[in-house]
């Protein structure tokens, strides 16, 4: 069973929302970002925590700023996302 991390779920929800707003399928985003669609699917479901390089690749593929992909953390209680 894959462990789901709270911060990964927050990031994944935001990634899915941005991808869907641009009317992109998982496969289309994967092609644009140069990664597998299963990896993107795992990120969207909170099963993978992306590296900074992956976030940059996603920002380029989605034609947005890195801060657009991580800005949702500004509205969260960051302490609540950390393991106890």
What is the pLDDT, as a whole number, of residue 5?
Answer: 83
Q: Tell me the domain boundaries of the chain.
A: 6-69
| Chain segment 41-66, per-residue pLDDT in tens | 999 999 999 999 999 999 999 999 99
Give how far Cα 2 sits from Cα of 5, 46, 47, 48, 70, Å: 10, 9, 6, 9, 23
- The average pLDDT across 11-23 equals 96
- The average pLDDT across 5-13 equals 90
Crossing angle (nearest 10°) for helices 52-62 and 6-21 = 20
| Protein fold of 6-69 | 434 Repressor (Amino-terminal Domain) (1.10.260)
Q: What is the pLDDT of the chain when averaged over all its residues? A: 91
| Chain segment 32-47, per-residue pLDDT in tens | 999 999 999 999 999 9
């Amino acid at each position: 069973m894959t462990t789901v991390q709270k911060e990964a779920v927050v990031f994944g929800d935001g990634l899915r929302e941005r991808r869907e707003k641009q009317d992109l399928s998982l496969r289309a985003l994967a092609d644009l970002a140069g990664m597998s669609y299963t990896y993107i699917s795992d990120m969207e479901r909170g099963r993978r925590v992306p590296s900074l390089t992956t976030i940059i690749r996603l920002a380029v593929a989605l034609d947005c700023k890195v801060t657009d992909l991580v800005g949702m953390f500004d509205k969260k209680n960051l302490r609540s996302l950390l393991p106890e």
